[in-house]
Amino acid sequence: MDLAEHPFFVNLPEKDRNSLISVASVHRVPPETVIFDEGSSCDGLYLVLDGTVAISRRQPDGTRRFVNYAKPGVCFGEMAIIMGRTRSARATAISDCVYGVIPVGAIRPVIESGSSILVALVRIIAGHLTTTTDNYIRDIAQQENLAMLGTLVNSVLHDFKNPLMLVTLNSQLIAQEHPDPRTQVLCRTIEAQVERMSAMSMEIGEFSKSGERTVFSKVNLQELAKTFHFLNAALFEQGTPSIEIDIPPIELEAEPKKLLRVLQNIIGNAVEALSSTPAGKVTIKGSLSPEGQSVLLSISDNGPGIPPAVQKRLWEPFFTHGKAGGTGLGLSIAKAFIDAHNGSVQCISSPEKGTTFNILLPLKQTTAHVEGGRNLLNAFLASRSLQNKG
């Protein structure tokens, strides 16, 4: 989008529009760039031309809460202009981003000289308030749902374990006593279904525990990738699809088990998506971000891509598409664990190029523990805003 095509200028008089465009500047920044921070002085009105900007506020415990997202055609930073105060939130690019800035010194005289720009700013504020209110309502509803889910899951899973174990043992005993082919097939089917039920139970259990604190320690990503390879040797040995890992020995503060689960869920989905793709390939790469403060993990496949309608609900708990089984929690758990590491994840998908998940994780954490459950809710809301772009 060109600066002059931004919706902000549509209803302005030609004189005001030309005046503001002539003094505006256009900037291009990489992901994780802080465009402005809380408490900084107001320097102008920001107009998103490409990419997505996250608006967040710092909470008393040191974590950040995402309150809104600005996508192409949206403005942000207007409250400081209207109120004449410093910035009340942080604006951060969460993808490659292009934005325009109208200097505050140029926009204030226009505000004072007529009502057209005031109407435009009021519309922006009303839109932001509506979005923030919707996010808050979804946040509260999700908190209630998670609380009920946790109580239910803890009781059900406790009662599930012993019966499933007995079914498996009895199936194995029957297979030993009846070596005929038909019985062997039936017993293998029983055991496979029990394994499936156990995996689904574990997934629901992990989701219900996503509110537990994340405890960080030093983790070498290359060693973590080796552990993932060891635990999933069967996937690598089957040959189709092929899986390639290229991760340097980067150290970061993380919880290994949760990062392994992130890899398991996303890579597992990629492998499943390639089941009918000839010469299917999954590539996992790691690199330092340009500023050297974060690590970027990219998980790519050459599969059929994810339909736009599915992308909009990709991170939504219990949402499934094109699967015979599963709980629909795999990506929700991955997003929750990434968010608990103060990280971010973005999905880019098309039928021509396949799907890529870009995961950005800070090398150092600012607090000893992060409340993952609260961030799960932000992740859930973030997913809807991000995927609506697609």
Answer whether residue 382 shows pLDDT above 70: no
* 331 within 8 A of 283, measured Cβ to Cβ: no
pLDDT of amino acid 389: 41
pLDDT of amino acid 93: 92
Q: pTM for this structure?
A: 0.52
Answer whether residue 259 shows pLDDT above 60: yes
Query: Within a 13 Å sphere around the CA of 205, how many CA atoms are in the beta-carbon half?
Result: 14
pLDDT of amino acid 375: 41
pLDDT of amino acid 369: 38
354-362 vs 344-350, strand pairing mode: antiparallel
pLDDT of amino acid 11: 77
Q: Work out the pLDDT band at 326, boundaries 50, 70, 90.
A: low
Mean pLDDT of 122-144: 60
Give strand ranges (E) for the chain.
Answer: 25-29, 34-36, 44-50, 53-58, 64-70, 75-76, 90-93, 97-103, 213-215, 217-220, 242-246, 251-254, 281-288, 294-301, 344-350, 354-362, 369-371
Backbone angles phi, psi at 178, to 5 degrees: -130, 90
> What number of H helices and E strands is found in the chain?
11, 17
